[in-house]
Chain A
Amino acid sequence: MKLTKHLAGVVIASTCLCAPALAQTRLTMWYHGAGNEVESRIINQIISDFNTSQSDWTVTIESFPEKSYNDSVAAAALAGNLPDILDVDGPVMPNWAWAGYLQPLPIDESEFADFLPGTKGVWDGKLYSVGLWEAAVALFARQSTLDELGLRTPTLDKPWSREEFMAALEAAKASGKYEFALDLGMNDQAEWYSYAFSPFLQSFGGDIVDRSTYKTAEGALNGEAAQAFGKWWQSLFSGGYAPGTSEDPADQQTGFIRGKFAFQWNGNWRAVATMEAVDDVVFLPAPDFGAGNKIGAGSWQFGVSAKSKHPEGAAEFIKFAAQDKYLAAFSDGIGLIPPTPSAAQMTKNYKDGGPLAVFFALSKAQALVRPVTPGYVVQAKVFTKALADIANGADVADTLDAAVDEIDADIESNGGYSHR
Chain B
Amino acid sequence: MAFNPDNHGLRLFVRYLVLCLIALIFIFPLVFMINSSFKPDSQLLADTSSLRAFLPVGDISLNNYFGAFRRAPVGLFVLNSVLVTGATVLLSLLICSLAAFSFAFLRWKGRDVLLSIVIATLIIPFETIAIPLLLLVSKLPWIGLDGLHWGWLNTYRVQIIPWVADGLTIFLFVQYFKGLPGELIEASRVEGANWWQVYYRVVMPLSGPVLATAAILKFLVMYNQYLWPLIVVQQESYRPVMVGLGYFFQLNVAWGEVMAYLTLITVPVLIFYLLLQRAFIASIASTGVKG
Chain A residues within CB distance 8 Å of chain B: 30, 34-37, 62-68, 71-72, 75-76, 78-81, 248, 250, 253-254, 258, 267, 269-270, 273
Contact = CB atoms under 8 A, between A and B. Distances in A.
21 contacts: A35-B72, A37-B71, A62-B234, A64-B246, A65-B246, A65-B249, A66-B249, A68-B246, A75-B134, A75-B231, A76-B231, A78-B131, A79-B151, A81-B153, A248-B49, A250-B45, A253-B45, A253-B253, A254-B42, A254-B45, A258-B46
Considering the complex of A and B, which 9 residue pairs feature the smallest CB-CB distances, nearest first? A65-B246, A35-B247, A75-B231, A79-B138, A250-B45, A269-B251, A67-B246, A67-B249, A35-B71
B250 interface: yes
B24 interface: no
Q: How large is the interface on B (under 10, 10 to 19, 20 to 34, 35 or more residues)?
A: 20 to 34
Interface string B135-150: 1001000000000000
B61 interface: no
A270 B252 CA distance: 7
B45 A79 contact: no
Given A68-B243, A253-B45, A254-B42, 9 more contacts: A35-B250, A65-B245, A71-B230, A72-B230, A72-B231, A75-B134, A75-B232, A79-B135, A81-B153
Interface in B34-72: 41-42, 45-46, 48-49, 70-72
B234 A30 contact: yes
Contacts of A72: 230-231, 234
A270 B249 CA distance: 14
A76 B233 CA distance: 9
A377 B247 CA distance: 23
Given A72-B230, A253-B45, A254-B46, A34 B236 contact: yes
Nearest to A336: B251
With most chain B CB atoms within 10 A of its CB, the pick from A68, A81, A248 is A68
B235 interface: yes
A35 B131 CA distance: 27
A62 B249 CA distance: 18
Given A75-B231, A79-B138, A248-B48, A62 B236 contact: yes
A269 B42 CA distance: 17
Contacts of A253: 41, 45, 252-253
B273 interface: no
A35 B249 CA distance: 8
B248 interface: yes
Contacts of A78: 131, 134-135
A113 B98 CA distance: 67
B261 to A, nearest CB: 10
Nearest to A135: B251
Contacts of B45: 250, 253-254
Contacts of B250: 35-36, 66
A270 B250 CA distance: 12
Contacts of A37: 70-71
Contacts of B252: 253, 269-270, 273
Nearest to A267: B251
Contact of B48 (A79, A250, A270): A250
Contacts of A76: 231, 234
Contacts of A35: 71-72, 246-250
Given A34-B247, A250-B48, A68 B230 contact: yes
Contact of B138 (A66, A68, A80): A80
Contacts of B231: 71-72, 75-76
Contacts of A67: 246, 249
Contact of A75 (B49, B230, B247, B248): B230
Interface string B162-202: 00000000000000000000000000000000000000000
B234 A81 contact: yes
Contacts of A66: 246, 249-250
Nearest to A38: B250
Nearest to B245: A65
A65 B234 contact: no
Given A35-B72, A250-B45, A63 B236 contact: yes
Contacts of B46: 254, 258
A35 B68 CA distance: 9
A58 to B, nearest CB: 17
A75 B134 CA distance: 8
A81 B138 contact: yes
Contacts of B151: 79, 81
A258 B244 CA distance: 31
A72 B41 CA distance: 30
Nearest to A258: B46
Contacts of B41: 253
A330 to B, nearest CB: 13
A193 to B, nearest CB: 16
B39 to A, nearest CB: 12
B133 to A, nearest CB: 11
Nearest to B257: A35
A70 to B, nearest CB: 11
B134 to A, nearest CB: 6
Contacts of B230: 68, 71-72, 75
A250 to B, nearest CB: 4
Contacts of A62: 234-236
A78 B246 CA distance: 22
B77 to A, nearest CB: 11
Contacts of B135: 78-79
Contacts of B72: 34-35
A194 B243 CA distance: 26
A65 B251 CA distance: 12
Contacts of B248: 35
Interface in B193-238: 230-232, 234-236
Nearest to B70: A37
A63 B71 CA distance: 12
Contacts of B131: 78
